[in-house]
Chains A and B, each alone.
Chain A
Amino acid sequence: MSEPAVPYAEALREFEPVIGLETHVELGTASKMFCGCDASFGAEPNTHTCPVCLGLPGALPVVNARAIESTVRIGLALHCDIASWCRFARKNYFYPDMPKNFQTSQYDEPLCTDGYLDVEVPVEGGTAETVRIPIERVHLEEDTGKSLHVGGATGRIHGASHSLVDYNRAGIPLVEIVTKPVAGTGARPAEVAKAYVTELRDVLRGLGVSDVRMEQGSLRCDVNVSLNPPGAPWGTRSETKNVNSLRSVERAVRSEVERQAARLRAGQRIVQETRHFHEDSGLSTSGRSKEEATDYRYFPEPDLVPVAPDPEWVAELRADLPEAPSVLRRRQIGSLGLSELDSAAMVNAGALDLVLATVAAGAPAAEARNWWLGPLAQAANAGGVEPADLPITPDQVARVVAIVAEGSLTPGLARQVVEGVLAGEGGPDQVIRARGLAVVSDEGVLAAAVDEALAASPDAADKVRSGKVAAVGALVGAVMKATRGQADATVVRRLLLERLGVSE
């Protein structure tokens, strides 16, 4: 199944990439786009349907006011022009996921046009560079139903004997955000694509218009890629669908660059087609060919009247927009008092929100940064997940930091506590109790270990007696070792100096 590939970096030395992204966002409205059915996720199949979203004869749609407002706010946040007058259109096609046999969408009159989003893309050396992604349009439509293919090997459409359809999702407001073709991404088209979707997700989350959960399908991406020899006209593009995680956006662009480069190098042409992305392999397979242009016979929806956003209302929405995530981030980083390099590192590691949340939970910024860029970043890397997906919360990290500050944990013990939390042994306090990790500061208990350490290293003891107080470090280390890291180092040091008759 796997096609020939030229390694990513090599492919991009030989060809110039052009990428484009179409992102679908399910709005977080209470009700559907054109009817009052509940729009929430996860209900029993077909319990959220009515004559309108089932397309029964005579049913009439009415536009959800909040969906219009959310779409205009998305357009404004992406610096788009807002149409003063626009209409919905019928996109006609026969497929069981739309019981009406058409999808109500927007065609040549989208609500929002011609904007941009600035995104920060990681570069070598740990910093970031700002890339402006031009936005072609933002329009409003409705989601389709969900099909379950029965009789095939793995629920896939191939080999299926029949399909079962759930229309709970049909008619949920869906916003499509389309970029213009993005050229000039050089050696980093995959990184730029991931940075764009990440930033877009943060913008949408900041607006509060969607829960933007890629794993539940409320944010979905189609990725367009083409390659051309340097200076030549743009190549033929493919469109990869079903790209449903940030990591997959990057992998989809990467694998498509590698595949197309191999074809072009072998003198083969690129077929304009839809490709399907597979999460398991990170590769895509050929789907429907687009050579025969799809004919959706769009026409203005006669059951809906035009939408004409009042300019004053649009101005109010613009004035009420929340701070852009990039601006907010800069301000928050500034308030943390961390360096530029630190902040770039946190953004690149996907850890900034986690650091901020840890600080909000009471930890000093430097401690929060050290945990998330240190042991926790390593744990995330080792597990092949984003730091946010680790089974530890910012609150729990802040709790560990607080216990260390109280003196009940040493830094070494704190790491053991975090390991326990990551291993699913419970919260920090639970792990401390279960593993018996509390710091020992009881002088009676420590006295024996201190005496042993002095007896075992008479040389070090002599050095300290003769005035080289720094040499006490080795003795403290010996006691810590003997107590398996659980001794309170400050108390140990004081006890040692007392025994040796040295005062600081």
Chain B
Amino acid sequence: MPEITREEVAHLARLSRLALEDAELDALAAQLDVILGAVAQISQVTEAADVPPTTHAVPLENVTRPDVVRPSLDRDTVLAAAPAAEDGRFRVPRILDAE
């Protein structure tokens, strides 16, 4: 029984704005299935050992910084890294289609 279907991969690809060919969907479904299988194996072990799920490898809490302003990057440097810029702003393609 596969963990992930071809349709689910297509859905994820659309959400991630990735244009995938049919052949790629099949290949990725198979590969993701292996990965999910490996994760499931870990889950079995942790559940048996009663280990709670964690999102962080380091047992830390409340890591904060004081509310102090530090220098930002120079705007020309920032915009030089953008594919396109105009009037001191990042220029992006029309975004109506995404709505």
Interface residues, chain A, CB within 8 Å of chain B?
29-31, 35-39, 44-51, 54, 62-68, 85, 87, 92, 94-96, 99, 147-151, 157-158, 160-167, 287-288, 295, 297, 299-302, 304-308
Contacts and interface: CB of A to CB of B under 8 A. Distances in A.
Contacts of B79: 46
Interface stretch (B25-33, B37-45, B68-76): B68-76
A50 B90 CA distance: 14
A156 to B, nearest CB: 10
B72 A37 contact: yes
15 contacts: A31-B70, A46-B78, A46-B79, A46-B89, A47-B75, A50-B70, A64-B65, A64-B67, A85-B61, A157-B96, A162-B91, A163-B95, A166-B90, A302-B55, A308-B61
Given A47-B75, A163-B95, A96 B90 contact: yes
Q: Which of A46, A147, A295, A301 is the most central at the interface, judged by chain B CB atoms within 10 Å of its CB? A: A46
Given A48-B72, A297-B15, A308-B61, 10 more contacts: A31-B68, A38-B69, A54-B78, A65-B65, A157-B96, A162-B91, A164-B90, A166-B90, A305-B58, A305-B63
Contacts, number: 134
Given A46-B78, A148-B89, A164-B86, A305 B56 contact: yes
B87 interface: yes
A72 to B, nearest CB: 12
B68 A305 contact: no
A46 B60 CA distance: 33
B69 A30 contact: yes
B88 to A, nearest CB: 4
A65 B68 CA distance: 10
A307 B89 contact: no
Nearest to A43: B72
A163 B99 CA distance: 14
A339 B87 CA distance: 57
| B interface, over-half SS | loop
Contacts of A96: 90, 92, 95
Contacts of A160: 94, 96
A464 B67 CA distance: 76
Given A44-B88, A96-B92, A306-B56, A36 B69 contact: yes
Given A36-B69, A44-B88, A162 B64 contact: no
Contact of A158 (B71, B75, B90, B96): B96
A422 B64 CA distance: 49
Query: Which 9 A-B residue pairings sit nearest by Cβ, starting from the closest?
Result: A36-B70, A164-B89, A66-B67, A65-B64, A300-B55, A96-B92, A165-B90, A308-B61, A45-B88
Contacts of A158: 96
Contacts of A30: 67-69
Interface string B2-21: 00000000010001110000
Contact of A44 (B75, B93, B99): B75
Nearest to A97: B95
Contacts of A167: 90
B67 A67 contact: yes
A49 B60 CA distance: 28
Contact of A38 (B58, B72, B93, B94): B72
A497 B83 CA distance: 89
A31 B62 contact: no
Contacts of A62: 63-65
Nearest to B16: A94
Nearest to B55: A300
B98 interface: yes
Contacts of A162: 91-94
Nearest to A99: B90
Contacts of B67: 29-31, 64-67
